Amino acid sequence: MAWSGGTFSRALGANQWANDAAANVGIEAGIHDTQDNDLATGINACLNKNGQNSPTVDISMGGFKFTNAGVATATTHFATLGQVQNGTAVYCGTSGGAANVQTLSPSPAISSGVGGQRFSFIAGFTNTSTVTINTSGLGAFPVYNQTDGTAATGLVAGNIVAGLTYEVLFLGAVYILLNPTVGAWVTWSPTLTGFSVDPASFSYTYSKQGRFCTIQVYQGGAGTSNSTAFQISLPFAAAAGRNWEAPLAQGFDNGGWLTNPGFARIAGGSSTVILYTAQTEAVWTAANGKLARFQMAYETAA
């Protein structure tokens, strides 16, 4: 056997030709064939430097390392320490696509999506609603906000802001945005109850992180009341199981400002916030003008 215990040995011994010469043995075809076949077996067991053959079992480096390695250009290549430190395999540069349909291009490109993959990128766009991400052209998958704790809710406008850096985790069917931007205020158009003419000057905005939503209501001019009720529809339905309350910053009813501004209440599971003129749950005048200004936070159902 040419190789034994990691050492190459000639089958006929290291001094075969010298021994034959000393014994006056001429050239023997059988001896030559055995010797040449033994050398061929040994050579064929070695790795060829131009890559014409490959290992058939795991190979130990014996504590040594590869040096002067090239940069990996495919997922089946060894990565250099430089690539790991620089993050080039997972950093995707600026995202492409569009605001709500963003694309990532790691280098080298991935050949398949596998749960556990992480990618970082600079946002090329600010999202305006739910988002999908398509990495290396392998298909678009929805992106969820990690603060929810579940993959139940997609992103809301402003969770991704152009020019900022983000990281996503792929779970096999969805991406989780690990560091969503919060505090971006988004406008919504609520339905008002209790008015024959809604306030003409207004601002309705919200900021949502996971299931935590803060709303701001500013009505600059009074609308015309036709009911003792004053309700405003929410941008997201409230979670069940508890209520949320907050004082009104200002309230106007029946031609005058409230001296006790009253409060707003969101009941568990409700899709509206109900406003009162006083802590006693006093209702509004069913005539003339009314308006309210306040901010409050609540937990959403999803």
SS3 41: helix
pLDDT (0 to 100) of residue 183: 61
Q: How far is CA 196 from the centre of its chain?
A: 46
Please state, for a pLDDT cut of 70, what percent of the chain lies above it: 96
Distance CA 300, CA 212 (A): 6
Enclosing H/E stretch for 21: helix 16-22
The residue-averaged pLDDT of 252-270 equals 95
DSSP 139: -
Burial class (CB in 10 A: 0-12, 13-18, 19+), 119: buried
131, 161 in Cβ contact below 8 A?
no
**Residue 225 predicted with pLDDT over 90:** yes
Residue 148 has pLDDT above 70, yes or no: no
Per-residue tokens: 260: 């006790």
Closest listed residue to residue 273, CA positions, set 252, 301, 298: 298
Identify the CA nearest to 171 among candidates 156, 157, 155, 150: 150
For the stretch 166-198, pLDDT in tens is 999 999 999 999 988 876 688 899 999 999 999
The pLDDT, as a whole number, for residue 151 is: 47
pLDDT one-digit tens code per residue, 22-64: 888 877 888 888 888 888 888 888 888 888 888 888 988 889 9
Residue 152 has pLDDT above 60, yes or no: no
Residue 236 has pLDDT above 50, yes or no: yes
Using alpha carbons, list the distances in angstroms from residue 26 to 29, 31, 72, 205.
10, 10, 55, 102
| Global pTM value | 0.57
At 245 the pLDDT is 98
Determine the pLDDT at residue 10: 80
Identify the H or E element spanning 145.
Answer: strand 140-145
d(CA 278, CA 116): 53
Which domains are seen in the chain, by residue range? 14-56 (no CATH), 81-177 (no CATH), 186-299 (2.60.40)
Residue 207 has pLDDT above 90, yes or no: no
Distance CA 269, CA 241 (A): 7
Mean per-residue pLDDT over the chain, rounded: 90
Q: For the residues 230-255, what does the mean pLDDT come to?
A: 96
Model confidence pLDDT, tens digit, residues 89-107: 899 999 999 999 999 999 8
Which burial class, exposed, middle or buried, applies to 15 when counting CB atoms under 10 A from its CB (0-12, 13-18, 19+)?
exposed
Strand order in the sheet with 231-233: 192-193, 231-233, 272-276, 263-266, 244-247
State the residue for tokens 């009314």. 290
User: Which pLDDT score, from 0 to 100, does residue 149 have?
Assistant: 47
List the one residue out of 104, 107, 76 whose CA is nearest residue 170: 104
Q: What local confidence, expressed as pLDDT, does residue 131 receive?
A: 95
State the average pLDDT over residues 61-80: 87
pLDDT of residue 147: 59
As beta bridge partners, residue 165 has: 122
Rounded distance, CA 166 to CA 143, Å? 12
What pLDDT, on the 0 to 100 scale, is given for residue 197?
98
pLDDT at 129 over 70: yes
Residue 97 is predicted with a pLDDT of 98
